[in-house]
Every structure is written in structure tokens, then in C-alpha cells.
Structure 1
């Protein structure tokens, strides 16, 4: 084995051994409003946390009844489970705990 080949092999092993954990990915999914009212807020939280994220529906926008929107959770984490909260324009809200958003690929609210 040449010096270069040995160096390349050692470098490859060193890169594998010293590489940090895999990069976390942001999570995006389709939020579907199949209810009869407009959704004005959609928030998530890590299960067990006592706070909600900022509204994930873009500022100045509501999710009208019968519409859908792509939602991005850009928290840099690799988990899929979140507590979710939606608020409608009439003030009612829905909360669900420990939902796996990766497996679903979408979340649909109905009446």
C-alpha cells in the first residue's frame, strides 16, 4: 500500500470516528384545516415542556376553513414527537400531546 493510500485510509477512518452526531433536520408537514372555522394560530412544544413555540402560521395570515399550508418546524432537533395546539378565530382551541408528526406527514383538523 502506498503512503497516499495509507493516509487516505487513515483519514477516512478518522473522519468516521471523529464525526459528530448526524445533523438534525427541520420538520415540515402539511397542516390541513378541514374544519368550518379559520385557524389563527398553530403552535408546537416538545412533550413535557411548559411553553409553546411562536405561531407557525405566517404573520398576518390565517388558515381559512377548507385550506392547507406547509408548516416548518425549524428547531434543529431530530425528534418527531410534539405537543400541538391550534386556536380558531372564535377563540376555541385544541391541544393534543405527544403526536408523531414525522409518521403522519400531515395534520388535519376537522369539526
Structure 2
């Protein structure tokens, strides 16, 4: 596994040091089962129109065929999130209304 991916994803836990009591921090496995590398991964609560910061960080890449742990700790108490993946070839995939409260893994396919 790429050291940059691990470091970038590990830093995700620092996104929300202090959160309201109802807020949650959710960890799940992102599996890149596609044929291209994942360069950016953004999330937002489905009731918000603003994408958060790139969960992979500045130097993070999730290579094709690999997996890593992602952490959403943005202080929200929402379960439904939209995901936005930007691949190395410039293609984008937006997946709306993913229930992160029940999510243990998410697989990106071609």
C-alpha cells in the first residue's frame, strides 16, 4: 500500500477534533476495484451542497486494486452522505445518499 495513502487517510481522523455530542466519526474501507487510480475523494452530508476537503490529502492516491480505511469525522450527525470520486483519467463518479451509519466498506468499480 502506498505510504502516502496511509498517511493521508490516517490524517482524516484529525478533521474533527472536537465535535458535538450527537456527532459521529465513521470509518469504512474504500476498495478501488476499478482499473484506474483514485486521486480525490470528497464527501458531504446529502443535505449540504458543499463538498468537504479531499479525504486522500495532498499526496494521497488510492491505486487501482488497493483498499484503505477512510474516516469521516466532520462533526455532522447525518447518516446520508454524497460521495464524489475523481479518478486519474479525469473521470468523476458521484454517488448520492450513501448511508454511512450502516457502511462498512464501499467499492469503486469501472
The structure with the largest helix share of the pair is 1
| CA distance in 1: counterparts of 2:78 and 2:45, whole angstroms | 9
Return the TM-score normalized by structure 2. 0.76
Q: CA RMSD in A?
A: 1.5
Alpha-carbon shift at residue 104 of structure 1 (Å) = 2.3
Hey, what does 1:16 align to over in structure 2?
none
| CA distance in 1: counterparts of 2:80 and 2:47, whole angstroms | 11
- 1:33 touches 1:108 (CA, 8 Å); kept in 2? yes
Hey, what does 1:102 align to over in structure 2?
101
Give the 3-state SS of the residue equivalent to 1:54 in structure 2: coil
Return the TM-score normalized by structure 1. 0.75
Question: What is the number of residues matched between the two proteins?
Answer: 91
Hey, what does 1:44 align to over in structure 2?
43
Hey, what does 2:24 align to over in structure 1?
25
| CA distance in 2: counterparts of 1:81 and 1:64, whole angstroms | 26
| CA distance in 2: counterparts of 1:86 and 1:32, whole angstroms | 12
Q: Quick one: higher RCO (CA 8 Å, sep 6+), 1 or 2? A: 2
Structure 2, unaligned runs of 5 or more: 1-19
